[in-house]
Structure 1
Amino acid sequence: MSFCNNSVPQPLIFVLAGIPSLESSNGWFSVPFFLVFVITVTGNLTILYIIQVEKSLHGPMFLFLAMLSVVDLSLVSAIVPHMLGMFWMNAKEISFNACLMQMFFIPFFYVMESGILLAMAFDRFMAIWKLLRYTTILANNMLMKMALAILARAVVVLTPAPILAKSLESFQSHTIAYSYCAYMAVVQIACGDIPNLIVYGLMVIVASEGFDLFFIVLSYGLILLTVFLIPSWEARGKAISTCDSHLCVIALFYSPVVFSVLAQSLGYHMAPHLQIIIDNLYFLVPPMVNPLIYGVRTKQMRERVLQILHCLGD
């Protein structure tokens, strides 16, 4: 139970604190966030363009990569523009309904990204285990079913968040100590019986990132088992090399989550402003770095990017 002596009724408008105790540095924070946004949009649009025009990249792995780029663009678009408005124009107010939308869509795209990374792990497993039947098994209709399953899972898992938040009738304050409307941040300033709402927030993590990470680890365990059955060391090396980019993206995406869970389990508590900065990096760094990883480590993409840069140089 969260009791409040001086509660306020459900407000029409919340005020986002941004990065508490560092308000005077908001102008400086806007610079890296703006650069992250520009690099993310440029990189992911480039990936989508190359996949569209390069017919040799119309296989399952690159179609998953295209899905990942679309989700990454959506994720940064849901966070950064409002954050920049807050930093540049002190636009800290957000309507209750707009807050509910952020509360749904930001984790929605994050959960979708996690699902796509799991699908890409399955793709790499099938490419190594059933190489001759790979394109037959992962035909377009199967890819569509997997994409719909990822979408449906995100909708089912995240739909309760705005509904539960909407049911909250009173709050300790109308100020959210965060840079966007995070579900847990809103619940923590609510009055009344909130333990069940907190449990739901934790279950979202378990049912999405926890579930996906478990099966990704399982997929790569099976990949290693399959690779070690290959007699040729050269063939083993080539098989593993097809997973390099995906492994880098997985490490980048899940390591902050694992670090946060371990830190809290061990009783380590970060300063609020540091926690908020790290939480922002959870959402913003992977979408920026993903296209750079695939652009550098994938031969077809690297050659196409160099070709585009050469044309621009001329």
Structure 2
Amino acid sequence: MNILFVVDPLDSFKIYKDTTFSMMREAQRRGHRIWSCEPRHIGWRTGGKVQALVNELTLTGQPDAWYRIDSTPLRALAEFDAVLMRKDPPFDSEFFYATHLLEQAEREGAKVFNKPAALRDHPEKLAIMEFAQYTSPTLVTRSAAEVRAFHAEHQDIILKPLDGMGGMGIFRVKADGLNLGSIVETLNKDGAETIMVQRFVPEIVQGDKRILVIGGQPVPFSLARIPQGSEVRGNLAAGGKGVAQPLSARDREIAEALGPVLAARGLLLVGLDAIGDCLTEVNVTSPTCFQEITEQTGFDVPAMFIDALEAALAG
């Protein structure tokens, strides 16, 4: 089987923790041929098929020079058995355009995971609003007045940009309202951009849990990303400590409720984020934490993913 990974530059990978690398390694272990390109390498010429400049990869097992490449002329994406869209956020205009090119490739016969239309339809923060029964009170708005009213009601709140990643731009405002006006102005650009506001969930001290759902089924362990020191953010990129743990009953309830729904929409891999009993994000672009969970628990997450991919292609 030939699998094309659409990724960030290979030299940016931190292979000791990178989830896409773990997928590639498992695919190669099974004898599949692996290929890569970046979104900027994808193009579409009038009257032709969506194509890309691709590299066939061989993983070397070495920590530094971890791959060898054989460059290949333009190839149609539909020639591959599977195309895995693993470009990291943010979901900006270029990501948006890439989903349209990948959707055209689908029309030409490519099998793309996660499905491009589903990537567009599930903005990672806004997607939780469909599943309000599992979230803490949340407001999405441009209005500073609405944010102030929400703060007056809930007293302790979190504010975040809709296009943030890795904990970027997250602020906590407690009951005293200190700097609320300045924070709102900074985040919503004086009303030009939409932001998300949520009631603070104190269980963050126990970790911001990443719950992986593959082919509609939950991985039995989450990765709790625990804030360190005085930090309110648990994101690993913000210095959080990742601790794998069995799913709680509530974690499993959320995963089993959302998993089949999202899988039916073409989302083979989803990363649900939860704090305490509350769903906080639905990550669909390039969910991570495969290696951390596998190393700490022995449960082979990459193998579960490639099993699901093979089953999806067989179906």
TM band (smaller chain):
under 0.3
Which structure has more strand as a fraction of its residues? 2
Q: Which has the higher contact order (CA 8 A, sep 6+)?
A: 1
The structure with the largest alpha-carbon Rg is 1
Give the TM-score, by structure 2 length.
Answer: 0.26
Which structure has more helix as a fraction of its residues? 1
